[in-house]
Amino acid sequence: MEDDTRRERRSISLRTRLLVLVLVPLLGFSASAGVLVTHRVQRVGAAQDAVAQLHAAVVLDGLRARVVQEAIPLVSSVELLDLAGDGLDRARLAGDLAGLYTDAARRTDTALALAQDDPLTRAAAREAAGRLEAVRASRGTGPTPSQRETSNRQLFDKYRYLVRQLADEVDAHLATAAGGGDDERLEHAVRDLQRTARATTLAGEEVPFYLGLVSAPVGGTGPARSAFLASWSGFGLAAADISATSRPAVRSAWVRARAHPDARSVDATLAAAVAADASGEGARPTSATLLDLSRAVVGRDDALRAVLDTAAAQAVEAAEAVREQSRRELVRYGGLTALLLVLSLGGVLTVSRSIAGPLARLATAARAISLGDLVDVRVEGPPEARTVARGLGAAVTSLRTVQAQAQAVADGALDSEIVRRPLGGPLGAVVHASVQQIITAVHDREQLQEDLAHQATHDALTALPNRAEALAQTDRALRRTARTGDRVGLLFIDLDQFKAVNDTLGHGAGDDVLRAVAQRLRERVRAVDVVARLGGDEFVVLVEPVADVEGLVDLGHQLIQTLGAPIAVGGHGGAQGECEVRTGASVGIAVSRTGQGPEAVDADRLLQEAHTAAYRAKADGRGRVEVYDDELRQALAERAAVEEGLRHALAADELVLHYQPVTDLATGRVRSVEALVRWQKPGEGLVPPGRFIPVAEGSDLVCDLGRWALRTSLAQLVAFDREGGPCAGLRVAVNVSGRHLRSPRLLDDVREALAGAGIAPDRLTLEITETVMVEDRVAWARLEQLRSVGVRVAIDDFGTGYTSFGQLARVPVDVLKVDRSFVASDDPRTVELVRLVVGAARSFGLGVVAEGVEEPGQVRALQATGCDTAQGFWFARPVPAQALAAAVLGCGDAFERSRRFETVP
């Protein structure tokens, strides 16, 4: 043992060996190889970029040359047409020049498309295309021929500016290419290309400047002469520079280009012009000479372009050579780096072999132990590995004892000797105490599991199965009947007036009622039927199998009768002694449909159908039994379709507003309108409001509908004011549903709509039905908030909600709208009632609007009561915004007709 300890001290640790084997060689070659490889990668990239830059320069220079060729026919046309009197036909001459221009423009467009295909030249090409389009658009403009010719002279300056821009772009690409390769040969080739590009650029300017000299007075020394001589001499210097400094291939190509017949013709013409100017004889060539010059300059430019292509080819060849050399060096240095890496890894593998075996066996043992196989662990390898092995072996010994104790507990041998055997050390004491606690907890857990299982599936108050258990049992029943072909029935029981019990007698009394209801339901149904409480005052009865629906309906009526009997509750909520309460019930029935196709239902669907039927039973008067049948299914499907269509209409802008004028019964003028929502459905036309408004009011869609109507109607007021006419300055009334009135967002909706339109608040009236105000007094506070903003409030359908006249002093409204049923009635008592309403409204400072006026006699009767305003078909039907002006004017005519109407006693 002592010898092993001494050997461990003398041995080198695992960490030290790995550091020596890996870090020392890798750090050495990584630094040098990294520098070499990085440099070669950069050089390859620079050479590739130089090739791309050269290609871009050649493409742009080709575009520059084509632009120059396009400009020459335009400039030539001025002078040639001036000289047409020397024997040439002017019309034919103009046609020849137009043909030259068309060919040149086509070649320019081809070069422009080629430049736009290159990513490096795309931006410059697009900018040049824009400028070229503008230059071409100004060609030959002017009301008179002389002005158009002057315009063509000025046009050359625009072409020359574009050519200069392209030449600058070419120089920029060439400069970038020259500095990108870091190679002397490439630099010489790029300089040859730069000289050639400069020479071709100057050559392109010679003829246009010569044409400018031709138009100048004989012997003139103006700007035209200076520009021509500068261009001619500049080209001569550039040509001499190429001949003196360029490499042989470029010089040879240059000599061949200068010897081209078109080049010699152009040079001879220009040299003659220079000589004539120097002798003071002037330079006024014939039109034939100018026409030949315009044709020859194209051939000369093409010959010079061949020189440029030769220089470009040599530059690209030099750049490719640099790139290829850099790639070879990159491969060589990469191979060296890989070799060094392989040697280093080989050394690591050789040295690590001495420790790989012990570590692998130790890992195998650890893996087996982690999987529960308590194997013996060999102590071998470096000091660190031997230390780990000894610790792992000690842990295995302790784990074997723990395993034996755990097996005894699992076998139920809780009194076994091995269970009582303690383990050594503090950890052993903790484990032994834990085993004893486990034994005690086993019994407690079994009891707790039983309790939890019951609580998870049953209602704590009534001990009935809860919602989850009801759905589970319904699902099992549906699975059974799917195999047998039977049906499952589900009765949804919703208690009536249960909320009143809680509110008056307290929740304790409500709990007594729920327990009594549960007991009565259990006693009334068969033993095989399942009674469950879903929550609150909702219960279900699961019946399986179902013989016929009539039997379920009879059972529903029996349950209603049973639950309608008085229920005794104890003293709760301050009540003394016992008392009796009565609660009714509404029952909805749903029956499963046989089959495995789309017609089959699951437990959730069956429960939803039964709940829907119960909801209809409550809506139809409570204490009823309703069956979810095909009629109800169809009605709900149609309602869902309308709701979905209405959502789409809101998103697709299919809704429109129609406006019905409100006429002043004293003057016949229209001062306000009521905005009514209409649905213009594509392919169907106007959808009747009675078909979609109730659906909207039954969902949150009515709030979205209200917000849309507010924004749209106020925006329309702004449009009316801007257009002027009879609709300017109108007020608008918008209907607000009870659901929207109860929404906390209504106040913000109104404020946002007013702010968005910039309309004064007093031009907006919100119409609330009287029944909403009677049924929901909380709405009064919301109306007070709206009036504080400055908005007017009107009670719609007044007289149908049983609002007393005494309440008018407290109701937060500004206008009463008398229901159309009172306006249309011939009963003298109804007429007197309208008179009372008008009088009461005046007493409390409220305005009155009579609805549904359809006859002239009704107008006279309302005027007799002192009613302020009226609306109805007699004056105008609701119309779109574009037809409202005509409807407003028509209201005045209807008012005049009603005044001429004689009532019959």
Q: Which two tokens stand for residue 808?
A: 């008018």
For 481-528, write each residue's pLDDT tens digit. 888 888 999 999 999 888 778 777 888 888 999 999 999 999 999 999
Helices 630-652 and 701-723 cross at an angle (nearest 10°) of: 40
How sure is the predictor about 40, in pLDDT bands with cuts at 50, 70 and 90?
Answer: low
880 preceded by cis ω (within 30°)? no
Rg (CA), the chain: 51
Helices assigned H by DSSP within 11-121: 14-82, 90-117
Kindly report the pTM of this predicted structure.
0.44
Q: Is 601 helix (H, G, I), strand (E, B) or coil?
A: coil
Distance of alpha carbon 676 from its chain centroid, rounded? 32
- Between residues 593 and 652, the one the model is more confident about: 652
pLDDT at residue 412 tops 80: no
Element (H, E) at 281: none
Element (H, E) at 308: helix 287-370
643-652, 672-681, 766-775: range with highest mean pLDDT: 672-681
Distance of alpha carbon 891 from its chain centroid, rounded? 48
Element (H, E) at 594: none
Nearest-CA neighbor of 100 among 268, 304, 263, 291?
291
pLDDT at residue 428 tops 90: no
Beta strands 567-569; 579-581: pairing state: antiparallel
- pLDDT for the residue 86: 47
- Between residues 786 and 633, the one the model is more confident about: 786
Q: Is 885 left (phi over 0), alpha (psi -120 to 50) or beta?
A: alpha
Phi, psi of 493 (to 5 degrees): -105, 120
Element (H, E) at 512: helix 507-524
- pLDDT for the residue 507: 82
Element (H, E) at 493: strand 489-496
Cβ pair 211, 297 in contact under 8 A: no
- Cα 875 to Cα 890: distance, rounded to the nearest angstrom: 7
Count of residues for the chain?
905
Helices 2-10 and 383-410 cross at an angle (nearest 10°) of: 130
pLDDT at residue 80 tops 80: no
- Cα 530 to Cα 514: distance, rounded to the nearest angstrom: 17
Phi, psi of 680 (to 5 degrees): -95, 90
Cβ pair 11, 383 in contact under 8 A: yes
Element (H, E) at 300: helix 287-370
Cβ pair 511, 499 in contact under 8 A: no
- pLDDT for the residue 19: 55
- pLDDT for the residue 514: 92
pLDDT at residue 650 tops 60: yes
Cβ pair 867, 838 in contact under 8 A: yes
pLDDT at residue 544 tops 80: yes
First to last CA, the chain: 136
For residue 648, which amino acid is it?
A: H
Residue in this structure with the two tokens 């149609």, named with its chain if needed = 638
Q: Is 863 helix (H, G, I), strand (E, B) or coil?
A: helix
- Between residues 357 and 684, the one the model is more confident about: 684
- Cα 660 to Cα 856: distance, rounded to the nearest angstrom: 17
Report long-range pairs for 274-279 (Cβ below 8 Å, ≥24 apart).
Answer: 274/229, 274/232, 277/213, 277/225, 277/229
- pLDDT for the residue 719: 95
Mean of the per-residue pLDDT values of the chain = 78
Burial class (CB in 10 A: 0-12, 13-18, 19+), 182: middle
- Cα 42 to Cα 327: distance, rounded to the nearest angstrom: 10
Angle among Cα 881, 882, 883 to the nearest 5 degrees reads 90
Q: Is 203 left (phi over 0), alpha (psi -120 to 50) or beta?
A: alpha
- pLDDT for the residue 85: 47
Q: Region 235-239: what's the mean pLDDT?
A: 79
Least confident of 45-54, 738-747, 751-760: 45-54
Return the sign of the alpha-carbon dihedral for residues 446, 452, 453, 454: positive
